[in-house]
Amino acid sequence: MAKGSEPEGEFEIIARYFAPLASSDAALGLMDDAAILRRDGSTLIVTTDVIVETVHFLSGDPPDAIAHKALAVNLSDLAAKAATPVGYVLTLCLPSEDGRPAIPPDWLQGFADGLRAMQQLAGIALIGGDTSAIPGPLTISITAFGQGTEGKTPLRRGAKPGDRLYVSGTIGDAALGLRLLRNPKLAATWQLDPMQVEALIRRYRYPEPRLQLASALREFASAAMDISDGLAGDIAKLCTASGVSAEVDATTVPLSEAAKKACKAEPDAFSQILSACDDYEILTAVPETSAVAFESAAARAIVPVRRIGTVTEAGGMVRFLGEGGKTLPVSQRGYTHFGGQNNK
């Protein structure tokens, strides 16, 4: 393939070559977590994600974990749209050698078991797909479908000045788990106990889509998206889509005890966490008048949420404020393919 005259990143490629093809209102300009198909009073939410060996998961990850992640990242998009999952299709591109699968049957069984467990959690089933032999690496693509509620699907572009910004769960655990898998000696540096090490690695391998938060999002969110490419970068995306800015109180960003230990041991760890990938939590903007009700609804759903900031006037800027209101230097680029970065 011929080389172009200038390098292009993931989002530049989408904007230049494919956004002009997305003329349907359902596509939302290719600027959201999913497409929204409306027909005869019903709302179908459609999302797709691909995960690739050594890019989105490690070669040594257990097959059930790879399957779990492949489906969970799609379900996380549906959760951000307050949709109820209804099914998915699977495309599996398996490395081959001499015309035969290079992956053994026990691996495939483990992969299927991982899908089954995630299916049961979401109450859905596989409804189709395709399989192909490739030279490598292992590549998995899933398209998931969800049922939405007309007029109550939170988009990225709905945030308004004065809205409160919330995140679910804790931030940074998955990225720290990946670092531990690459360098187990960090456990001692961070003074983690074995259970904390296991918990961080599990957050990387087995993300938990916040499907239980759907009802609260439907009722109270003015905007929402899942956090997959880093909290800082994804807040910036939401602000850009909504034509607003935001101020984030970095001292309120929720961290696990293990993450706090890592930040204490490494001065730069916190800023890295704010830009790190694979959280698969929900970022949402909620009107000030609905903030208390949203928090109560999330508590009833047994999903922890934390207010971290406020939406401000137009400008597309995100300010992270530390102790004493000091502005922190935080990269808001987020993860991007073709951006000179390695594994997510």
Domain-located, residue 334? no
Mean pLDDT of 99-128: 95
pLDDT value, residue 160: 97
Sign of the torsion formed by the C-alpha atoms of 301, 304, 309 and 314: negative
Sign of the torsion formed by the C-alpha atoms of 52, 211, 42 and 90: positive
Do 134 and 261 fall within a single domain? Answer: no
Do 57 and 132 fall within a single domain? Answer: yes
State which of 148, 176, 207 marks the end of a domain.
148
Side chain identity, residue 113: D
User: CA angle, 249 as apex, 246 and 254 as ends, to 5°?
Assistant: 115
Q: How far apart are CA 206 and CA 288, in angstroms?
A: 33
CB 259 within 8 A of CB 176: yes
Q: How far apart are CA 102 and CA 171, in angstroms?
A: 36
Q: How far apart are CA 235 and CA 335, in angstroms?
A: 13
What percentage of the chain exceeds 70 in pLDDT?
A: 93
Structural domain containing residue 65: 10-148
Q: What is the pTM of this model?
A: 0.90
Do 127 and 234 fall within a single domain? Answer: no
What are the structure tokens assigned to 174, written together? 């998955």
* CATH at residue 306: 3.90.650.10
CB atoms within 10 A of CB 124: 20
Three-class SS of residue 33?
coil
pLDDT value, residue 22: 78
Q: Between 246 and 12, whose confidence is greater?
A: 246
Q: How far apart are CA 268 and CA 259, in angstroms?
A: 12
Contacts of 97 (CB under 8 A, 6+ apart): none
Candidate from 31-35, 90-94, 167-171, 223-227 with smallest mean pLDDT = 31-35
Q: What is the largest CA-CA distance in the chain?
A: 64
pLDDT surpassing 70 at residue 335: no
Domain-located, residue 3? no
pLDDT surpassing 50 at residue 41: yes
pLDDT surpassing 50 at residue 164: yes
CA atoms within 13 A on the CB side of 128: 4
| pLDDT band (50, 70, 90) for residue 87 | very high
Do 132 and 181 fall within a single domain? Answer: no
Mean pLDDT of 173-199: 98
Do 84 and 20 fall within a single domain? Answer: yes
pLDDT value, residue 248: 97
The string of pLDDT tens digits covering residues 1-19 is 445 555 567 778 878 887 7
Side chain identity, residue 262: A
pLDDT surpassing 70 at residue 341: no
pLDDT surpassing 50 at residue 156: yes
Do 72 and 40 fall within a single domain? Answer: yes
Do 262 and 131 fall within a single domain? Answer: no
Q: How far apart are CA 271 and CA 61, in angstroms?
A: 27
Q: Between 150 and 202, whose confidence is greater?
A: 202
What percentage of the chain exceeds 90 in pLDDT?
A: 75
Sign of the torsion formed by the C-alpha atoms of 80, 83, 87 and 91: negative
Domain-located, residue 340? no
Q: How far apart are CA 150 and CA 159, in angstroms?
A: 18
Domain-located, residue 129? yes
Do 117 and 204 fall within a single domain? Answer: no
CB 6 within 8 A of CB 338: no
Run of H or E including 141: strand 139-148
The string of pLDDT tens digits covering residues 228-238 is 999 999 999 99
User: CA angle, 341 as apex, 131 and 80 as ends, to 5°?
Assistant: 65
Mean of the per-residue pLDDT values for the chain?
Answer: 91
What are the structure tokens assigned to 307, written together? 């207010």
Q: How many domains does the chain divide into?
A: 2
Do 81 and 120 fall within a single domain? Answer: yes
Domain-located, residue 253? yes
Do 70 and 182 fall within a single domain? Answer: no
State which of 148, 180, 199 marks the end of a domain.
148
